């Protein structure tokens, strides 16, 4: 994508503010204090992050939703951080049906580099 195409992207100006657009797009289901959220989005520039599971073999629809929100916030002047790996990757994906197993760096790092994950729960 050319630099001009990226510069031409913008949030929809027909909405009163960013939160209204995010809600209209179905990207906000719940929040704890809508007035505080609206104020933060409209009156300050926030830094925010999304994290991706480095042990997963690929991205999925849930990740796309995160990326869509991330881009909308970025277009409004906020600062995005995308994180892959780290401590969350070592702890693994929570599942309601099983206990978490501690992953090793050997499980996590190959996926970040484009390889296949090792067996989950291996202890060094």
What is the residue-wise DSSP string for 57-92?
SS--HHHHHHHHHHHHHHHTT-EEEEEESSHHHHH-
- Cβ atoms of 92 and 100 closer than 8 Å: yes
In tens, the pLDDT along 107-122 reads 655 555 565 555 554 4
- Cβ atoms of 75 and 10 closer than 8 Å: yes
Domain spans of the chain, in order of start: 45-112
Q: Which residues of the chain have pLDDT under 50?
A: 121-124
Beta strand pairing call for 47-52 and 79-84: parallel
Q: Alpha helices of the chain — where are they, by DSSP H?
A: 3-8, 18-24, 34-43, 61-75, 87-91, 105-112
Q: What pLDDT, on the 0 to 100 scale, is given for residue 123?
A: 39
Q: What pLDDT, on the 0 to 100 scale, is given for residue 58?
A: 76
Q: What pLDDT, on the 0 to 100 scale, is given for residue 63?
A: 85
The CB density around residue 87, as the number of other CB atoms within 10 Å, is 7
CA distances from 23 to 5, 30, 33, 53 (A): 25, 9, 14, 26
User: Which two tokens mark 98?
Assistant: 């099983």
Whole-number Å distance between alpha carbons of 104 and 23: 39
């Amino acid at each position: 994508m050319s630099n001009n195409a990226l510069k031409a992207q913008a949030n929809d100006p027909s909405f009163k503010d960013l939160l209204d657009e995010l809600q209209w797009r179905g990207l906000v289901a719940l929040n704890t204090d809508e007035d505080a959220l609206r104020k933060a989005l409209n009156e300050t520039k926030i830094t925010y992050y999304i994290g991706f599971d480095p042990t997963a073999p690929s991205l999925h629809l849930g990740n796309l939703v995160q990326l869509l929100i991330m881009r909308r916030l970025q277009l409004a002047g906020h600062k995005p951080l995308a994180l892959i790996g780290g401590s969350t990757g070592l702890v693994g994906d929570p599942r309601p049906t099983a206990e978490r197993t501690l992953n090793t760096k050997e499980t996590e790092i190959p996926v970040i580099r484009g390889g296949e994950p090792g067996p989950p729960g291996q202890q060094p």
